[in-house]
Amino acid sequence: MLGGLRVATAADAAQLLAIYAPYVLHTTVTFETQVPTEQAFAGRIAGTLGQFPYLVWESAGEIAGYAYAHRFAERAAYDWTAEASIYLAPAAQGTGVAQCLYGALIELMQAMNYVHLYGVITHPNPRSEAFHKSMGFELTAYFPNVGYKLNRWVDVVHYRLPLCPLPTRPVDTVPFANLPQRLVQRVLTRHSGATIDG
């Protein structure tokens, strides 16, 4: 799929919501049960971008997928750990777009001094679990029957990717908004150049 990576903006909310809404309404991939408004979704994008990357894959003006990072948990001791989320339009699945999005996201999180990146996945989800394994994540936790959606109980698994050797004393993380723009653009360009099928 031809196209490239860029940083999302709040103006992308309508296109991203069109990708996300079917996951909310018809799957257990997300535990959200009501589709947010476009205004609320724009606020989420803007709120994320100060601290974390929020990336889209765009092709001919159409967004085919997006990925972003966010806090893993609220307490201060978790400051070096983040969670990644990714959503694709149906046509983008199996094209390599997910690898490009996650590849760039991982590299940016490393530049921001994060130590761990987690994928939190409803189980079973063979496609997502295989994808995370292919990107170097390892299964670290299993939570049976932890959520209830679409009239059934749903399990959750955690996959972890170490972003660096475990430091004795971690250095402060860098907010995404404070990364040099030239560095961000180099990462996006490099991962946009990855091989895409189709």
H-type alpha helices, 27-69: 38-49
Kindly state the tokens that stand for 157. Answer: 């698994």
Report pLDDT for 194.
57
- Reported as a single tens digit per residue, the pLDDT across 73-100 is 999 999 999 999 999 999 999 999 999 9
Kindly state the tokens that stand for 118. Answer: 């987690």
pTM score of the predicted model: 0.95
Residue type present at position 100? C
